[in-house]
Amino acid sequence: MAKRYGGKYSPSPNAESRGYAGVAPDRLPETGPAHPMTRRLVWLVVAALPFLFNAFGAGPLTLARSLGSFALIAGAVFLIREGLKAEAAWQARKVARRPVLPRKAFGALGIGLGLGLGAQAPEIGALGAGLIGLIGAALSLFAFGLDPMRDKGLEGVDPFQQDRVSKVVTEGERELAAMAEAIARADDARLTARVAAFAETAHELFRAVEEDPGDLGAARRYLTVYLSGARAASEKYAGLTGALRDAKARAEYEALLDDLEANYAARTRALRENDRVALEIEVEVLRERLAREGLREPR
């Protein structure tokens, strides 16, 4: 079935203004944090294709070795891609834990093993094949770097409290992903943009709670209950739209997105304002104590 193309500047018969209705131009969706090196990985797979082409017609040993080499390199490319995504997410956050699994390092190891296995030849020998694999692994590490090796922004933070926040945020991320997946089934570019814009607003709240885990109690409902309800509403709307285009249901769903985005933005501002007020109180208390000790003149 043909699908109508829709983009940021595509005309829409239902839109009253340029862009997506209800979404400011600077809030149009992005695909999330992306590493600039991700697209280069395809060339590693292309470079490994000769192993696949040479696998047939030279006996079972060559077949197994060539297919194994290609599989190792393809798997290594997948690991490196996931490692780059994890690194981009780590860099995008002010508060983040290092990845549990060093995917890029394991990917470099897989590339080295794949090249070493594929380089088996009488004139090279085992030593030469091992050297080729070592060079390949080193070049992979040089090109894509190491995985983040340290936590960021967690100095002085209670590990138990931070773990609680991490679990709640992870669950919230799952709800947002399920919400976006449900709306994608509705095949509506404008609503997809609206959901992505709301997800950005929710991520701002996530970051605020990660920066100050003490705010978890004030924001827990927004990170769990309300997101779960929004995901359920999105799935119901997508199911209804699949059977029948209902203008009333669409308007109600857009109103829900408006309310969600406004309330999440307001909650984020309130948390940050509370943090600012708390800082001012602490500074004032410290000044009064210093004045009583005679270390500075009272204001």
Q: What is the structure's pLDDT at 15?
A: 39
Q: Is the pLDDT of residue 298 over 60?
A: no
Q: What is the mean pLDDT of the chain?
A: 78
Q: What is the structure's pLDDT at 78?
A: 93
Q: Is the pLDDT of residue 202 over 50?
A: yes
pTM of the model: 0.57
Q: What is the structure's pLDDT at 24?
A: 39
Q: What is the structure's pLDDT at 139?
A: 92
Tell which wins on pLDDT, 181 or 292. Answer: 181
The mean pLDDT value for 35-44 works out to: 80
Lowest mean pLDDT segment, chosen from 13-22, 161-170, 246-255, 288-297: 13-22
Tokens describing residue 73:
């390199």
Q: What is the structure's pLDDT at 106?
A: 94
Q: Is the pLDDT of residue 280 over 70?
A: no
pLDDT tens profile 82-129: 989 888 877 777 666 778 889 999 999 999 999 988 887 767 788 888
Tell which wins on pLDDT, 33 or 258. Answer: 258
Cβ burial of 215 (10 Å; 0-12, 13-18, 19+) is buried
Say how far apart CA 167 and CA 221 lie, in whole Å: 14
Res. 237 pLDDT band, cuts 50 70 90: confident
Say how far apart CA 14 and CA 16 lie, in whole Å: 6
Q: What is the structure's pLDDT at 190?
A: 87
Q: Is the pLDDT of residue 143 over 80?
A: yes
